[in-house]
């Protein structure tokens, strides 16, 4: 299992806009091969998204899709490109 974390330093409305467009985000991310989970957290300086997939290819595809969507639909809120970190999940403590 792999995870990608995208940290957006953005306008305060960025996360709110993603919430308003939840249906778009869901259809975009759920279509990623090997998709497992997606999370959005609003932060003091923007937002953080976390995508969990079966493999690295899935997380790379999720980042590609997220980048295209933000550029096409939310560029006025996004600020600078996100800081992206990815890696293999070593411990999984879900309920």
Structural domains of the chain in order of their starting residue, each with its CATH number:
2-88 (3.30.70.100)
Average pLDDT over residues 25-53: 95
Question: How far apart (Å, rounded) are the C-alpha atoms in residues 28 and 21?
Answer: 11
Bridge partners (DSSP) of residue 8 are 47
41-88 pLDDT per residue, tens: 999 989 999 999 999 999 999 999 999 999 999 988 877 889 999 999
Question: How far apart (Å, rounded) are the C-alpha atoms in residues 52 and 58?
Answer: 8
pLDDT band at residue 30 under the 50/70/90 scheme: very high
pTM recorded for the entire structure: 0.90
Cβ contact 53:36 at 8 Å: yes
């Amino acid at each position: 299992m792999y995870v990608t974390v995208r940290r957006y330093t953005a306008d305060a409305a960025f996360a709110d806009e993603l919430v308003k467009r939840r249906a778009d985000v869901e259809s975009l991310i759920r279509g990623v091969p090997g998709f497992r989970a997606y999370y959005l957290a609003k932060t003091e300086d923007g937002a953080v998204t976390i995508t969990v997939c079966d493999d690295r290819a899935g997380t790379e595809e999720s980042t590609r899709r997220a980048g295209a969507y933000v550029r096409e639909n939310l560029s006025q809120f996004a600020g600078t490109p996100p800081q992206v970190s990815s890696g293999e999940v070593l411990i999984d403590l879900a309920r």
